[in-house]
Every structure is written in C-alpha cells, then in structure tokens.
Amino acid sequence: MKPALRTICIGAMACALAAGSAADTRAQQTKSVKKVQAPRCSAGATTRLVRYKVERGEALPAAIPKPLTRKPGDAARGLEAAADPGKGNCLACHSIAKALAKADQSDPQSVRTYGNHGEVGPPLNGVGGRYTPGELRMIVVDPKQAFPDAETVMPAYHARKGVKDVVARCRNQVMLGAQTVEDIVAFLEELK
C-alpha cells in the first residue's frame, strides 16, 4: 500500500506542478496575445482602392504615370514599408542592397527586418534606371498588368481583382494604401 500511496502522492504532486506551470503558460500566452493587434483587412494600413488610369509604358505594356496621391512619396518611408513584413514584405522575394545596408548587425530585430532577403523575384538594385516612375507604380499596384506574360507570383498591392470570399467589411480594401504605394515608388526610383 505504502509504495502505491507514495506513487499516487508523487503523481499528484507532479500533476499539481504541471497544472501550475500550464496555468502560468496560459497566463503568459494571454498576456502576449493582448499585445497582438486585432486582425485588420490587410496587414498594412487598410485603405480604400484609389482610381487610377493605366497607360502604355516604355519598357512595359502598362504604366500609371499619374501619382495616386497629391502628396509626393517619401523614399525613406518607402524603404521602411518595403522591408516591413506587415506591409510590403518585398524582401521576402527580392534582395535590395540599400535595405541590407540598413541592417544593424548588433541588433537581431534589425537584421531580421532588413537583412533577410529572398530570391523568388529579381534583385531590385538599379530598378529606378530600368523603369519609369509610372511603370514602377504599375508593378507595385498590379504586377499582372505590368508583366502580362509572366503569371507572376508577385502580389497586387493596390488592386481588388481576382479575389472572392473576402470578409464583408474588407471589400474594396487593398493591401497597401495609396500613400504607401507612392512612398515605395519614391524609394524604387532612387535605386539607380
């Protein structure tokens, strides 16, 4: 009987300990979940689709020569938005030397944000010399129109075609707002 009792006792203690640590873990999880923002329609700042006119480009069959906003794009903010995994996440598919140069090697968070580049798409170095601002805008807004033969995997950041089953409150919302698109285009223009 005695050994059995001890076993039960040890088991019970182990259970109590396990229950305690599970409760602690749950409390920690609840705490960290509270810090995470509620789901939004898009990862970037949710904004309505802005109307734009598509014209013929020089190197590409389509371009949007007129900016989407009156306020000119800010290249420094464009780099931030391009690197931000919750916004452009462009580095998931493209390497950009200018972003890499911003990675602070002594800061793991900075290295994660600016120093982690994929190669699904071509490197974007020099892209400001290869395309007009209107073409760059078209590529970011809706790359399927910019590269009609490619069936590209690049997302359309400011377009609402080809999607269904969207939560009702998110209809007509786009991945990146017009001003963020302009910021990114300003940044790309500087990559010469």
Question: Which residues contact ligand HEC by CB under 6 A?
Answer: 82, 88-90, 92-94, 120-122, 124, 127, 130, 136, 139-140, 147, 150, 152-155, 157, 184, 188
Read off φ and ψ for residue 63, nearest 5 degrees.
-155, 160
Q: How many Å apart are CA 117 and CA 96, to the nearest integer?
A: 8
Q: Which two tokens stand for residue 17?
A: 């300990």
Q: Which two tokens stand for residue 44?
A: 């970037």
Least distance (Å) from ligand HEC to the CB of residue 96? 9
**DSSP one-letter code for 169:** G
Least distance (Å) from ligand HEC to the CB of residue 9? 57
Q: Which is nearer to ligand HEC, 64 or 154 (CB)?
A: 154
**Based on the number of CB atoms within 10 Å of its own CB, is 59 exposed (0-12), middle (13-18) or buried (19 or more)?**
exposed
Put residue 80 in one of left, alpha, beta given phi > 0 → left and psi -120 to 50 → alpha. alpha
Q: Which is nearer to ligand HEC, 75 or 140 (CB)?
A: 140
Q: Which is nearer to ligand HEC, 61 or 121 (CB)?
A: 121
Q: How many Å apart are CA 103 and CA 173, to the nearest integer?
A: 32
Least distance (Å) from ligand HEC to the CB of residue 67? 16
Q: Which is nearer to ligand HEC, 116 or 152 (CB)?
A: 152
Q: What are the Cα distances from residue 191, in Å, to 84, 125, 146, 187?
A: 18, 6, 19, 7
Q: Which is nearer to ligand HEC, 14 or 120 (CB)?
A: 120
Q: Which is nearer to ligand HEC, 110 or 125 (CB)?
A: 125
Least distance (Å) from ligand HEC to the CB of residue 124? 5
Least distance (Å) from ligand HEC to the CB of residue 46? 16
Least distance (Å) from ligand HEC to the CB of residue 171? 22
